[in-house]
Amino acid sequence: MRYIWVVLVLPFFGFTFLDPVAKKNEEGNDLFQMGEYDAALQQYLQAQQNAPNRSELRFNVGDALYKQGKYDEAAQELGQVVESEDSNLSASAYYNLGNTLFRQEKFEEAAGAYKKSLMKNPKDQDAKVNLELALEKMQQQENKDENKDENKDENKDENKDENKDENKDENKDENK
């Protein structure tokens, strides 16, 4: 009778105690939830040593790096997860990659990542909102760049005019 109870209860508790990778991943998730991103990252990296190609571990490493402000490294990890066969994981990876690129002020690339996330999960409202924000930021950046170019051109023209006037005055003085 005890044997049957163990067999019935075991699936509810999971098999993480049998799988060291899953155990490290779960420990990392607990630490991540507590805001201990350094410690979580260490758990994920230890788990990755035994399962280097497991997409969910790469995703978690990317998330922990993002939370630490290590955006280049986070983008690299998440970039390896986006092509995952797990559509939900891939959509989440594209979304988080978009957030990472947004933080780096790479708004065009961020918008592309959000679009790909939405292709995999069209109902993701957060991705829609972030896509709109990225597009707005792109527009602001373009306007800013245009204003810089216009100001440069105006300054060049003003400097040319001033130099011409100065040269004329100098030439007049020299001719006297």
pLDDT exceeds cutoff 80 at 9: no
User: What topology is assigned to 53-175 in CATH?
Assistant: 1.25.40
What six digits make up the tokens of 136? Answer: 């707005």
Distance CA 35, CA 67 (A): 9
Mean pLDDT across 88-103: 97
- Position 142 pLDDT exceeds 50: yes
Average pLDDT estimate for 73-97: 95
- pLDDT at site 72: 97
The Cα–Cα gap between 169 and 162 comes to 11
What pLDDT digit, counting tens, does each position of 102-133 carry? 999 999 999 999 999 999 999 999 999 999 99
Give pLDDT tens digits for 143-171. 887 777 666 656 665 555 555 555 454 54
Mean pLDDT over 70-76 rounds to 97
Tokens 């990876």 -> residue: 93
Mean pLDDT of 21-47: 96
What pTM was estimated for this model as a whole? 0.75
Mean pLDDT of the chain: 84
